[in-house]
Structure formats: structure tokens, C-alpha cells
């Protein structure tokens, strides 16, 4: 009996997936739990495992094909193809088999965008030397070896298609800007005590929590007292969530991903620091899972490492708000005695969805975050 393998539903927002690489070919025997295909979703590239034993009778989708969730991508059964079920054209089956076998000698580390471009240009990833982290093949490696558009008055033009992630980000950000009536609140936080505390922790913890970990911890504690900020406006109604799940924006060579620190309000500062480091590493080496990229109820975006004083982040619908964090550096402030002194400060910008949050709601929340950061001993409890 032939069984159809369909495009799996790998994330809460996934509607379709792109075949990045087949790890099997027609005629191969597969066993339950065996990795059979790499699929690029709207959030990450993941490896899908077989849920049954049998023989591959047909590959219904080639590398580079985009298939809706539930669409048939392969047929597995008994025998050598006599009961392969739905017919597959010879051209598509040959193309899928040939592409899958091109790198069968070793599994090449490559970014999803690099895989997409390589498939379009017919470039064998196994022939490329990766210049990314840990030898990972990235877009520029493929473009240097592939065909380019002819020159013009603008010079040589290279045109590439966005990845599923980039398409999703573009769609969601356009949706946010066109549908969310947002407003912004800003404050400057004196981080003198936080800097001192981190210096003390450095002597007993290696590595010590980052300043972003301090901010995530403060945000998580503040969200407990302001549940509407930990909510969403969806389908003309208000949603409030019992769990505080903070998403942290992490930049990659292909775009921006936001992994989630679940139940952040119940984690210690040290636990938040360890989790954030682990998630960031997974994002950058491509091993992050769809589950780890889902479920956030509030987001923090930090661009302080680039020296920016402040910026405005775009709300990730349907979340009620997002916090943007600028650089921490010495700035002139007026102390209690009226003297101008240099203090380490950071600028926070809170973007709020006005449909669920009013100015006072956001202001009280942001003030609570500031108070926690300026008296950081509270973050250690």
C-alpha cells in the first residue's frame, strides 16, 4: 500500500514550505525517524523525519519547489514503484533525484538563502568553500560562483529572490505599518547600579549576564503587573496571556529571527542569560526550531551594539508592544544636587498598539521597567 507524505505544518504561522534538499532518492528504503528532507518554512529551515518504514516510490516535489501545507511531496510504500500512487512526471522526479544526490557525499552547511540561490543557478553547494561562521556557505559564496545579470549604467547587477523568512518579514512588517495605529514612548535609564552589579557578577560568573539580559529580566517582571501589555489585539478583541514569553530579536545573514524565552518572568537573571545565549547560537548556526521561534507575547529589539542612541522598532502583530534598546554609554545628566555629571545611560523606546494600549498604560509599564533597571537588586530575586 502506498502512503503519501505531505508538507508538514511545522510552525503556527506556516502556510507553505520550500524543499531545500532531499536526503533520500526514489527507490531508497526509509525507516521511521530517518531524516528525509530539509524544508524552509516562514521562520527557519528544518529537517523532517519519516514517520513510517517503506520504500520511496516517488518524489513529487523538486528542490526549490514551494508546496502548501498538506500538499503531497513524496510517496512511500512497498515494492519498486508499481503502486506509486499519484503519477509524477519523469522530469520532476529526475530533477529531484539529481539535486538530492549532488551533495550526497557530505552534508553542506549553508544558509537557507544560499541554498535557494544555488538551486536557482544550478550551483552544487559541495563545490563551494563557505566564508560564513564555521565554514557555512552564505549568499555571497554562491553569487561569486553563479551567473549574474548583465552590466548596465548601474554596474553589474545581481538579482536574488528573498527567502521564505524575508518574504514573511516583509509581509508582516507591511501589515504592521498599514494596520496598527502605533505610538511611541521614550525614556532614558540611569544604568549606574546595573553596571556596578554586572561588574560584581563578572567576578563570580563567566560569562556574566549581558545588559540585554538585565533588560529582558526587567521587562518580564514588569509584564506581570501590566497584563494588557502582555496581550494582543486580534479579531477586533483583546487577548491577554497567562504566560510571559519574551521574544529577543537576533540578526542573521538572511534576515531577522525572534526566538522566544518562555516563562521569562519565572526565570532568574542567570537562567535568562544562559537561554538567550543558547537561542542566539542556534539562530546563527541554523539549528533553531520552529517551536523556539513561536509563542512570544512581547518582543525586545536591541541595536545598542551598533552605537545607535535610539530607534523605533516595528510591532510584531498581533503583539501589543515592542521595546527598542539603544546603546549604553556615558551621557550628561543632572544629579540630585543639580550638577551635570557623566552617567552610563540607555535609551528605551516603547512602540504600542493604540487599539489595546493607551498612553498611560504604556507609560506606567515603561516607568516600571526603568525603575527595575535603576534598582537592579530586584532583578536578582
Residues involved in catalysis: 354
Q: Phi and psi (nearest 5°) for 258?
A: -125, 85
β-bridge partners, 78: none
CA 376 → CA 229, 297, 333, distances in Å?
A: 22, 23, 19
| Nearby residues of 204 by Cβ (< 8 Å), 6 or more positions away | none
What is the spatial distance between Cα 22 and Cα 7, in angstroms, rounded to a whole number? 13
What is the spatial distance between Cα 362 and Cα 95, in angstroms, rounded to a whole number? 55
What is the spatial distance between Cα 328 and Cα 188, in angstroms, rounded to a whole number? 10
Task: Report the candidate in 360, 352, 359 with the shortest Cα–Cα distance to residue 180.
Answer: 352
Count CA atoms within 13 Å of residue 273 on its CB side.
Answer: 16
Amino acid at each position: 500500500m502506498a502512503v503519501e507524505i505531505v508538507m508538514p505544518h511545522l510552525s503556527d504561522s506556516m502556510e507553505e514550505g520550500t524543499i531545500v534538499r532531499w536526503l533520500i532518492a526514489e527507490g531508497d528504503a526509509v525507516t521511521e525517524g530517518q531524516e528525509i528532507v530539509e524544508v524552509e518554512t516562514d521562520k527557519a529551515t528544518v529537517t523532517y523525519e519519516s514517520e513510517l518504514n517503506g520504500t520511496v516510490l516517488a518524489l513529487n516535489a523538486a528542490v526549490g519547489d514551494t508546496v502548501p501545507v498538506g500538499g503531497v511531496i513524496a510517496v512511500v510504500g512497498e515494492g519498486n514503484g508499481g503502486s506509486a500512487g499519484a503519477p509524477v512526471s519523469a522530469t520532476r522526479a529526475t530533477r529531484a533525484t539529481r539535486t538530492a544526490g549532488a551533495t550526497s557525499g557530505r552534508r553542506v552547511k549553508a544558509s537557507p538563502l544560499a541554498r535557494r540561490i544555488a538551486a536557482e543557478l544550478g550551483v552544487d553547494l559541495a563545490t563551494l568553500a563557505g566564508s560564513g561562521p564555521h565554514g557555512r556557505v552564505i549568499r555571497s559564496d554562491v553569487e561569486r560562483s553563479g551567473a549574474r545579470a548583465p552590466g548596465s549604467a548601474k554596474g553589474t547587477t545581481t538579482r536574488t529572490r528573498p527567502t521564505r523568512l524575508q518574504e514573511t518579514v516583509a509581509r508582516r512588517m507591511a501589515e504592521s505599518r498599514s494596520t496598527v495605529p502605533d505610538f511611541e514612548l521614550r525614556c532614558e535609564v540611569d544604568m549606574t547600579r546595573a553596571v556596578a552589579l554586572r561588574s560584581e557578577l563578572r567576578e563570580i560568573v563567566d560569562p556574566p549576564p549581558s545588559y540585554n539580559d538585565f533588560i529582558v529580566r526587567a521587562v518580564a517582571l514588569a509584564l506581570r503587573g501590566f497584563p494588557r501589555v502582555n496581550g494582543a489585539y486580534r479579531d477586533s478583541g483583546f487577548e491577554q496571556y497567562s504566560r510571559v514569553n519574551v521574544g529577543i530579536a537576533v540578526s542573521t545573514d538572511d534576515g531577522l529571527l525572534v526566538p522566544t524565552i518562555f516563562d521569562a518572568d519565572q526565570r532568574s537573571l542567570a537562567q535568562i542569560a544562559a537561554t538567550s545565549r543558547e537561542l542566539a547560537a542556534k539562530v546563527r548556526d541554523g539549528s533553531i526550531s520552529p517551536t523556539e521561534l513561536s509563542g512570544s507575547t512581547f518582543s525586545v529589539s536591541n541595536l545598542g551594539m551598533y552605537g545607535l542612541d535610539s530607534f523605533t522598532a516595528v510591532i510584531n502583530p498581533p503583539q501589543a508592544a515592542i521595546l527598542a534598546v539603544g546603546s549604553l554609554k556615558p551621557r550628561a545628566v543632572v544629579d540630585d544636587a543639580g550638577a551635570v555629571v557623566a552617567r552610563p545611560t540607555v535609551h528605551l523606546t516603547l512602540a504600542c498598539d493604540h487599539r489595546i494600549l493607551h498612553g498611560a498604560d504604556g507609560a506606567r509599564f515603561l516607568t516600571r521597567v526603568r525603575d527595575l533597571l535603576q534598582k537592579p537588586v530586584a532583578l536578582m530575586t
